[in-house]
Each structure stands twice: as structure tokens, then as C-alpha cells.
């Protein structure tokens, strides 16, 4: 049983990729079973039909009405209340007994990544032989400039720090919005921080340039992170790459999914 959490900033494509990857897996091999899990109690519309849905237990609007909270406060409380339904979620996962479990997290990544709830959910669902991974999405709209890339890289590093025991891959989402040169440039930044530092020096100005240069130097000292994996729901090759990287994370040379 292979479980992957999609984490990223709002609008980075988590929900779309969750649904698309399920379709990809099931079309790839009819014997593969895959399910989707929605962990966003405030989601109004999703581009897929969740097989397991936290909204069956917690609805944002009901939390707002019950506790007299606005949307932001209600989302924080709703996220914390999720721990009360961990046993229900685990029971549903056991009933499906799927090969792949694709988990769509809330648009506000800080609710899952930086509060105690997220790591608790991740550790609780990762038992009984379930192998886990995290796919952190770099929104192509945000990372075309060095300062946007560095900001997103810091978020990805923070998530990796919070979920230390779970392997993480970083994916460049919505690659179809970029040309080949832009994709190559951004992917290169993810492994060559000297190149990132040079582009920062050339393209940023003032305080943003100085801060970005300092942060670039920090990543140079820490060493390279994993190379970004470009992906897009509009290009099957992008889903092939995500599938391949997840296979390696899950050590799938021992599985039948190759």
C-alpha cells in the first residue's frame, strides 16, 4: 500500500494532480487500485470525486456556525478537529485496501505542515505496512523569478524538516505553462545553487536582491536538494515522471507495478 501526500501553496495544482494521477494509474494497469482522499474540510468544489472525504465528518461552514468563527479561524479549528476522526479514516483505508492512496491536503499548506495536526495525521495513517511519501508542488506561476523560487524552496525545505521520516519529492507543477528554456532554467536552479545565485544577482534589485543572495548562499552551504520533477496533467510524460519518482521512493523494484 503506497500513500502520497500532495502539499503546496494554494493554487499550485494539488487537487488537479490528485485526480489526474489516480486516472493515470488506473488507466496504466487495470489491476492497480487507486483511491483519492480529500483532507480539506473547506473545499467547495474538487476536480475529482474523493473516495474518502474529510467533509463527511467536518464541514467548514458548520464549524463557522457552531463556534462563531470566520473562515480563517474555522479552518484552523477544523484542521485541529480532524484528529478526532483518524480512526474513521483508517477504517475507510482498510476497507478499500488500495494499492495507491493519493491524499489531497488543504490549500493553506501551513495548516497541514506547520501545525501539530499534519504530522500526527501523517504518522497515524502510515501504519500497517503503508509506505508514505510527500510530493511538494512548486507552482510554475510563482517560481519564474529567483526570489519566487527561493521562497518556495524555503517552504519545501520547511515541510521536509517537519516530516523528516517521510521521503519527499519536489515537483514543478503546470509545466505546460512554461517553455522548454524556462523549465530547464528552473530545474537547474533546484540542483545548481551557484546558477541560482548568479540569476538572482542579475535579475533582482534592492533589498529583495540582497535577501535572495543571502538565502541562495545558505542553500549553497547546505548542499543540493532533490532535482525538481516537471509535471502536467496535460502531458502524459509529466505524469510518467511523477510515477517514476514515486516508484523509486517506494522501492518498487520489489513490486509488480513496473
- Number of Cβ within 10 Å of residue 238's Cβ equals 23
What is residue 55's predicted lDDT score, i.e. its pLDDT?
Answer: 96
What is residue 258's predicted lDDT score, i.e. its pLDDT?
Answer: 38
What is residue 110's predicted lDDT score, i.e. its pLDDT?
Answer: 87
Q: Interior CA angle at 159 toward 157 and 164, to 5°?
A: 95
Per-residue pLDDT 10s for the chain (258 aa) are: 789 999 999 899 999 999 999 999 999 888 889 999 999 999 989 999 999 999 999 999 999 999 999 999 999 999 999 999 999 999 999 999 899 999 999 888 888 888 888 888 888 876 667 788 999 999 999 999 888 898 898 888 889 888 888 888 999 999 989 999 999 999 998 888 778 778 877 877 777 777 766 776 676 665 545 678 898 888 777 788 888 888 887 764 344 343
Q: Interior CA angle at 86 toward 82 and 92, to 5°?
A: 120
Let me know: does 238 contact 175? Beta carbons within 8 Å.
yes
Output the pTM of the full model: 0.89
Rg (CA), the chain: 19
Domain 2-145+166-177+228-254: homologous superfamily in CATH = P-loop containing nucleotide triphosphate hydrolases (3.40.50.300)
What is residue 38's predicted lDDT score, i.e. its pLDDT?
Answer: 96
Residue ranges of the domains in the chain? 2-145+166-177+228-254
Among positive and negative, which fits the CA dihedral 177, 178, 183, 187? negative
Let me know: does 163 contact 119? Beta carbons within 8 Å.
yes
Amino acid at each position: 500500500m503506497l500513500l502520497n501526500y500532495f502539499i503546496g501553496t494554494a493554487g499550485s495544482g494539488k487537487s488537479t494532480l490528485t485526480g489526474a494521477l489516480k486516472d493515470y494509474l488506473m488507466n496504466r494497469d487495470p489491476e492497480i487500485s487507486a483511491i483519492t482522499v480529500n483532507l480539506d474540510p473547506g473545499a467547495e468544489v474538487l476536480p475529482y470525486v474523493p473516495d474518502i472525504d474529510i467533509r463527511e465528518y467536518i464541514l467548514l461552514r458548520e464549524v463557522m456556525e457552531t463556534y462563531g468563527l470566520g473562515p480563517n479561524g474555522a479552518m484552523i479549528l477544523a484542521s485541529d478537529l480532524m484528529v478526532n476522526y483518524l480512526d474513521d479514516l483508517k477504517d475507510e483505508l482498510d476497507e478499500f485496501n488500495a494499492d495507491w492512496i493519493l491524499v489531497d491536503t488543504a490549500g493553506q499548506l501551513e495548516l497541514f505542515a506547520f501545525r501539530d495536526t499534519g504530522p500526527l495525521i501523517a504518522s497515524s495513517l502510515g501504519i500497517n505496512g503503508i509506505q508514505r511519501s510527500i510530493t511538494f508542488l512548486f507552482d510554475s506561476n510563482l517560481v519564474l523569478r529567483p526570489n519566487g523560487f527561493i521562497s518556495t524552496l524555503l517552504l519545501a525545505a520547511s515541510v521536509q524538516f517537519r516530516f523528516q521520516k517521510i521521503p519527499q519529492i519536489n515537483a514543478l507543477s503546470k509545466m505546460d505553462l512554461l517553455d522548454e528554456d524556462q523549465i530547464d532554467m528552473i530545474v537547474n536552479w533546484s540542483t545548481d545553487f551557484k546558477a541560482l545565485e548568479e540569476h538572482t544577482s542579475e535579475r533582482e534589485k534592492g533589498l529583495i536582491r540582497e535577501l535572495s543572495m543571502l538565502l541562495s548562499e545558505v542553500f549553497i552551504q547546505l548542499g543540493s536538494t532533490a532535482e525538481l520533477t516537471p509535471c502536467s496533467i496535460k502531458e502524459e510524460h509529466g505524469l510518467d515522471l511523477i510515477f517514476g519518482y514515486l516508484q523509486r521512493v517506494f522501492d518498487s523494484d520489489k513490486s509488480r507495478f513496473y
